[in-house]
Structure 1
């Protein structure tokens, strides 16, 4: 195991934990900006969104191509004869801030302090339909935005993990050789598979102790305090 020069993190359930999601509340907020031809309720819209979401997520996983929340919402609402008097970017921000709440994963600040102390670069690569701007604003709420030198959202680049092209973007932004970069994430299918295929050292963040039912070889970490100690020991040699 070699000392990393850079470390790229997944975002959801790795850096930030999703605490709650209320799609109906989000849709209710969007209706405040809407011309709603058929007087549909937030519950009506949410039901249609769940059906469309199942289809788009399946196709996205199969193709490794990323749809965006803005295109999803346009397709959803325009087929329901709902239009808006604000921009789609503003709608995305309003829905996010109303429907979702996050908290930093326990111990993540210890890890970031350790990496900064040892001059190890950091970045984020996230599979999400939301733009990087929205994610950066969420990180800023938790005093995390300045802890990462870049954030790559699949919504901004068209490809999803584990496709190698989205990993190439992160590698370029890190400006290091792949073998000098560790990638840390909580999913085997997206994070670990993609990291291995892209030549990065894979670290599986697995606080729940789930079994590894794949043949992927990776460093498994159950908690961030443990990981911070491991990095500190590795860098002190």
Structure 2
């Protein structure tokens, strides 16, 4: 990787510097738009004690769920336990620390982290366990709680196309949390399906500008379906 060219040659190089006890931000929603190969690389590295920020934690045996199998995640900050039985089991047993956060609040925490805003007030969660231990204040007669922004040591992002400079386009709903995560990482690593030369992407279609991206790698993806329902004959 040299100058504005963000490409790296291997997943080992893509996650160079990731070590135990770091905070990792991970894009995706369910299994849609998850950086599955970067997650698999973390498993191969055996990195432990991680705090992972993601909407959910994959499913049993895929996505972030594989990191739960090897007890590599110490804490999850997420909004949904979802379809992952092991996640639920570790949560209920106290083995895994979990900070359940309303989905919109989680998105805004990441956006604020990327924008350099340390905290913000939101009405979401006031009067519920979400507000416990947090500062509250009234604005125009309505109660709000103070939520702190989130940033991370590494941000793992899944895109569709990118150019050498790290300008990224997401495909349809796979955009989800990825642009927010990309902004909030100290080191942002993006894996994509296709890398093209600078100038081949329409600037009006760019979702994440290359200024946010530190490393870029092209991968092959399984794109597993989280739930499949078949119509009867």
TM-score by shorter chain over 0.5: no
Q: TM-score range by the shorter chain?
A: 0.3 to 0.5
- Alignment TM-score, normalising by the size of structure 1: 0.35
Q: Which one has the bigger strand percentage? A: 2
Larger relative contact order (CA 8 Å, sep ≥ 6): 1
The alignment's TM-score, normalised by the length of structure 2, stands at 0.36
Specify which structure has the higher proportion of helix. 1
* Structure whose CA Rg is larger: 1
